[in-house]
């Protein structure tokens, strides 16, 4: 009887892996969508150069790191290579005016936001049936680097890493726990949770720690630091593929089930910080404790419910927007997911549909 139970479970897990691949593949952006987005980037770059001739417009976020879903937004970063450049606030205002005059975009310049950006959107068209949403920021070189780091992690084990990340992105959107404005976690935060789990929780690890691998040649602080932060990581993925291989043979379904179990039960939310650079850290050590006595509105208390260290900006909690209620909801969803995947052993496809309903 027990053996039969085990066989059913093994079959379920194998089916679930297949269902996860099939599910994710149909949600990938089409080649046409990618081409339209690249055309939009080029067009915007051309227009920005009429204001700042030495500028470049680069993609970051999911469009550039391999974790993009169909119709995901476009994150663009404008870099200006000359020393004499306009202040970001002026540039945002001028660019806003220009785009309004010259293009069909709906334009919303936010020159006085903490990070000045121009928000753009485009109505649906045959190539982009759901239109397009795009943010243009300025000089955000750290975001370009963290995008490259995530892309390298995705390339080491594309099948398992990308499938897990893409599934979790869809799941978190469908379950409505992917909105920093409403007190839950950004996509970037979920990706970091997955990488933390695959590097530091799984034993043997599925991924190496790219930020702690020895460099191939001597490097200086000048080579590695950006805005005062150490952004070095091992990025020769071709070489890494030849030299490093994971002893972890778990399937994507096994990893996903364990991911939900870990974050619903085992991660020490009250005291721990998930750091992909270092592993599990103590909130206390980072000055991020959320049990500081203080009034009801103690800001740090709300800010540090869930702590995820940025891989480069190590003094920055990527999950600072997650509120007490937000974390309660997120953990509730992790528990629900763990439960659905352990109590619906008949049909993987049904479990998956229930998970995302
Ligand atoms: P979707 O837009 O949902 O497809 O996901 P995404 O992968 O583009 O993630 P998101 O829009 O949350 O973030 C886009 C990029 O902005 C990330 O890849 C990071 O480079 C950067 N970013 C987002 N949030 C933060 C943050 O809190 N801190 C830092 N340093 N960078 C961030
Ligand atoms: Mg994005």
Distance 35 CA to ligand 1 centre (A): 22
Closest ligand 1 atom to the C-alpha of 63? Answer: 8
- Domain extents in the chain: 31-140, 157-207+246-356
CATH class of residue range 157-207+246-356: mainly alpha
Ligand nearest to the CA of residue 61, numbered in listed order: 1
pLDDT at 259: 98
Quote the DSSP letter at residue 282: E
CA distance 329 to 13: 26
pLDDT band at residue 297 using 50, 70 and 90 as cut-offs: very low
Condensed to tens digits (0 to 9), the pLDDT of residues 72-93 reads 999 999 999 888 888 889 999 9
pLDDT at 55: 94
For ligand 1, which residues put their CB under 6 angstroms from it?
60-62, 67-69, 72-73, 75, 142-143, 146-147, 169, 186-188, 310, 313, 318
Say which residue the tokens 């404790």 belong to.
289
Region of 279 (left: φ > 0; alpha: ψ -120 to 50; beta: rest) is left
Kindly report the protein residue whose alpha carbon is nearest to atom 26 of ligand 1: 318
Q: Which of 127-136, 171-180, 339-348 has the highest mean pLDDT?
A: 171-180
CA distance 241 to 155: 9
Ligand nearest to the CA of residue 192, numbered in listed order: 1
Q: What is the dihedral of CA 22, 23, 24, 27, to 10 degrees?
A: 120
Closest ligand 1 atom to the C-alpha of 191? Answer: 7
Condensed to tens digits (0 to 9), the pLDDT of residues 153-173 reads 999 999 999 999 999 999 999
Kindly report the protein residue whose alpha carbon is nearest to atom 23 of ligand 1: 188
Closest ligand 1 atom to the C-alpha of 318? Answer: 27
Distance 129 CA to ligand 2 centre (A): 18
For residue 345, pLDDT over 70 is answered with: no
For residue 129, pLDDT over 90 is answered with: no
Counting ligand 1 atoms within 8 A of each CB, the residue from 66, 153, 187 with the most, and so the one to mutate, is: 187
Distance 12 CA to ligand 2 centre (A): 33
pLDDT at 127: 67
pLDDT at 296: 46
Q: What is the CATH number of domain 31-140?
A: 3.30.460.10
Half-sphere exposure (Cβ direction) of 114: Cα atoms closer than 13 Å = 0
Closest ligand 1 atom to the C-alpha of 310? Answer: 30
Q: Rounded mean pLDDT of 10-25? A: 93
Q: What Å distances lie between residue 20 and 103, 116, 150, 350, CA to CA?
A: 40, 38, 21, 12
Closest ligand 1 atom to the C-alpha of 72? Answer: 4
pLDDT band at residue 299 using 50, 70 and 90 as cut-offs: low
Supply the ipTM of this predicted assembly.
Answer: 0.95
Kindly report the protein residue whose alpha carbon is nearest to atom 31 of ligand 1: 143
Q: Rounded mean pLDDT of 218-224? A: 84
pLDDT band at residue 219 using 50, 70 and 90 as cut-offs: confident
Ligand nearest to the CA of residue 141, numbered in listed order: 1
Counting ligand 1 atoms within 8 A of each CB, the residue from 60, 143, 276 with the most, and so the one to mutate, is: 143
pLDDT band at residue 295 using 50, 70 and 90 as cut-offs: very low
pLDDT at 293: 45
How large a percentage of the chain has pLDDT more than 70? 96
Whether 31-140 and 157-207+246-356 share one fold: the answer is: no
Closest ligand 1 atom to the C-alpha of 187? Answer: 12
pLDDT at 178: 97
């Amino acid at each position: 009887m027990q053996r039969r139970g085990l066989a059913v479970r093994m079959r379920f897990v194998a089916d679930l892996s297949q269902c996860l691949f099939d599910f994710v593949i149909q949600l990938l952006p089409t080649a046409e969508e990618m081409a339209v987005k690249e055309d939009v980037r080029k067009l915007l770059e051309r227009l920005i150069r009429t204001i700042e001739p030495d500028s470049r417009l680069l993609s970051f976020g999911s469009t550039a790191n391999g974790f993009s879903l169909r119709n995901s937004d476009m994150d663009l970063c404008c870099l200006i290579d000359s020393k004499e450049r306009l202040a970001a606030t002026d540039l945002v205002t001028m660019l806003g005016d220009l785009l309004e005059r010259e293009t069909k975009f709906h334009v919303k310049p936010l020159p006085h936001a903490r990070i000045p950006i121009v928000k753009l959107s485009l109505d649906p068209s045959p190539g982009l049936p759901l239109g397009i949403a795009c943010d243009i920021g300025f000089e955000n070189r750290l975001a370009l680097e963290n995008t490259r780091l995530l892309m390298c992690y995705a390339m080491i084990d594309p099948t398992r890493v990308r499938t897990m990340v893409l599934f979790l992105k869809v799941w978190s959107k469908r379950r409505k726990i992917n909105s920093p404005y409403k007190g839950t976690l950004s996509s970037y935060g979920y990706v970091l949770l997955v990488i933390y789990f695959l590097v530091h929780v799984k034993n043997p690890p599925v991924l190496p720690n790219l930020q702690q691998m020895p460099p191939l040649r001597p490097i200086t602080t000048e080579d590695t630091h950006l805005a005062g932060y150490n952004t070095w990581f091992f990025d020769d993925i071709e070489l890494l593929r030849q030299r490093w291989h994971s002893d972890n043979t778990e399937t994507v379904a096994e990893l996903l089930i364990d991911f939900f179990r870990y974050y619903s039960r085992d991660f020490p939310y009250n005291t721990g910080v998930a750091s992909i650079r270092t592993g599990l850290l103590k909130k206390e050590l980072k000055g991020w404790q959320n049990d500081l006595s203080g009034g009801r509105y103690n800001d740090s208390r709300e800010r540090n419910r869930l702590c995820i260290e940025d891989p480069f900006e190590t003094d920055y909690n990527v999950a600072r927007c997650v509120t007490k209620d937000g974390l309660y909801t997120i953990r509730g969803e992790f528990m629900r997911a763990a439960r659905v995947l352990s109590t619906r052993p008949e049909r993987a496809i049904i479990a998956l549909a229930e998970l995302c309903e």
